[in-house]
């Protein structure tokens, strides 16, 4: 029927317009985003999405690709030198919920003496001089509205390899997201290993 198609088209047009607007707003807003997704300039913290774009992304479960890292850190070289993932750099993984990303101080434990003339290592020293830490960009993570409480330590204790969720990082130069950590991925593995698949095992 013609009028129904008309209504449908009108709806689609409006929806498209809104999404485009979201795109624009999302771009426009990006300048002022905090690491936790809230606007830096805002005097309040709120779970509200900072832009329509962000809301759309969350709805479709789209995670932005990791941003260019401030230092072209190569995992490969460090792995070849037999530096264990969780003993030196991602120390939180073995004992706590969050793996953690090393900062200037941890880097400089070795790099005060090792490869000090490498341009990227010089960059680290410059950060230290400026009293700044390295603004690493997140590669993995869950959007806040997923309400996921992932804990690294129990997975490590259960003998899950880092590569299961993070890919062959030791072969990577700058880390990329090799595994899409969606709920299907988690639940498959939990089922295989007879771990809990209750909602509240992860969502609370």
Partner 1 sequence: MDRRDFIKLSALTAGAAGLAGCGHPDHQLIRFLPEESWIPGVATWRPSLCPLCAAGCGVMARVMEGDAEVVRNGRTGLLRMGLVKKLEGNPAHPVNRGKLCARGQAAVQIVYHPDRIRQPLKRRGERGTGEFEPVDWDEALSTLAARLKQVLDDDPAGLAWLSRPLRGGKRVLVERFLATLAAPAPVYFELFDESVLRWANRLSFGREQMPTYTLSVANYVLGLSADFLGTWNSPVAQAIGYGEFRQGRPGRRGKFVQVEPRVSQTGANADEWIPIRPGTEGALALGLAHVLLNEARRPTTAAGTAGERIEGWLQGLPEWTPEAVAEQTGIEAERIRRLARELIAHEPAVVIAGGAALAQTNGLATALAVNALNALLGCVGALGPVRFTPQPESTGLAPPHRTLRALVQKILSRPESPVKLLLLYEANPVFATPPAWQVAAALDRVPFVVSFGSFLDDTSILADLVLPDHVFLESWMDDVPESGTEPAVVSLAAPAMRPLHNTRAMPDVLLDLSRRVGGRLNEALPWKSYEELLRARFDALARRAGADADAFWKQALERGGWWSDNGGTRAAAPRHAAATTRQIRYQPAEMDGSVEEFPFHFLPYASQAFYDGTTAHLPWLQELPDVLTTAMWGSWVELNPQTAERLGIRQGDLVDVTSRHGTLQAPVILSTGIAPDVVAMPVGQGHRAFTRYASRRGANPISVLAPLEEPETGALAWAATRVQIRRAGVGRLVLFSGGLSRFPHPEER
Partner 2 sequence: MSRRWGMVVDLDRCTGCEACVVACRAENNVPTVGETEAARGRAIHWIRIERYWEGEFPNARIRFVPVLCQHCEAAPCEPVCPTYASYHTADGLNAQVYNRCIGTRYCANACPYTVRFFNFFHPVWEKPLHLQLNPEVSVREVGVMEKCTFCVQRIKAAELQAKAEARELRDGDVQPACAQACPADALLFGDLNDPDSRVAQLARSPRGSKLLEEVGTQPKITYLARLSWSGDGEDR
Binding site residues, partner 2, CB under 8 A: 42-48, 97, 144-147, 149, 151, 153-154, 157, 198-200, 203-204
Among 7, 10, 72, 98, binds partner 1 (CB under 8 A): 98
**What would the two tokens of residue 55 be?**
């809301």
Closest to partner 2 by CB, 23 vs 153, is 153
Which residues from 99-118 bind partner 1, rule CB under 8 A?
Answer: 100, 103-106
Residue 64 found at the interface with partner 1 (CB under 8 A)? yes
Closest CA to 89 of 145, 44, 22, 134: 134
- Please return the burial class of 68, using the count of CB atoms within 10 Å of its CB with bins 0-12, 13-18 and 19+: exposed
159 binds partner 1 (CB under 8 A): no
Burial of 196 (0-12, 13-18, 19+ CB in 10 A): exposed
**Which is nearer to partner 1, 133 or 168 (by Cβ)?**
133
- 135 to 154, contacts with partner 1 by CB under 8 A? 135, 137
For residue 91, give both structure tokens.
């120390």
- Alpha-carbon distance of 117 to 120, in angstroms, equals 8
Closest CA to 176 of 9, 98, 63: 63
Residue 92 within binding range of partner 1, rule CB under 8 A? yes
For the chain, the first-to-last Cα distance in angstroms comes to 47
Report what 157 binds from partner 1, partner 2, none; CB cut-off 5-8 Å by kind: partner 2
Q: Which residues bind partner 1 (CB under 8 A)?
A: 9, 12, 15-16, 19-20, 22-23, 26-27, 29-36, 40, 43, 51-54, 56-57, 59-60, 62-65, 67-68, 70, 91-92, 95-98, 100, 103-106, 127-128, 131-135, 137
């Amino acid at each position: 029927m013609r009028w129904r198609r008309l209504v449908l088209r009108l709806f689609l047009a409006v929806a498209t317009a809104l999404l485009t607007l979201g795109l624009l707003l999302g771009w426009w807003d990006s300048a002022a985003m905090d690491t936790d997704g809230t606007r830096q300039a805002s005097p309040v913290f709120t779970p509200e999405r900072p832009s329509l774009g962000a809301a759309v992304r969350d709805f479709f479960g789209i995670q932005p690709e990791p941003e260019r890292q401030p230092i072209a850190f190569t995992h490969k070289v460090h792995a070849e030198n037999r530096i264990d993932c969780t003993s030196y750099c991602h120390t939180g993984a073995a004992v706590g919920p969050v793996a953690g990303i090393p900062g200037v101080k941890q880097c400089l434990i070795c790099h005060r003496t090792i490869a000090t003339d490498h341009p990227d290592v010089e960059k680290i020293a410059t950060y230290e001089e400026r009293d700044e830490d390295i603004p690493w960009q997140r590669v993995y993570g869950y959007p806040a509205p997923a309400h996921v409480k992932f804990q690294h330590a129990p997975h490590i204790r259960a003998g899950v390899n880092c590569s299961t969720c993070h890919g062959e990082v030791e072969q990577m130069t700058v880390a990329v997201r090799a595994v899409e950590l969606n709920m299907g991925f988690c639940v498959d593995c939990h089922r295989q290993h007879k771990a809990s698949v209750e909602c509240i095992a992860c969502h609370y």
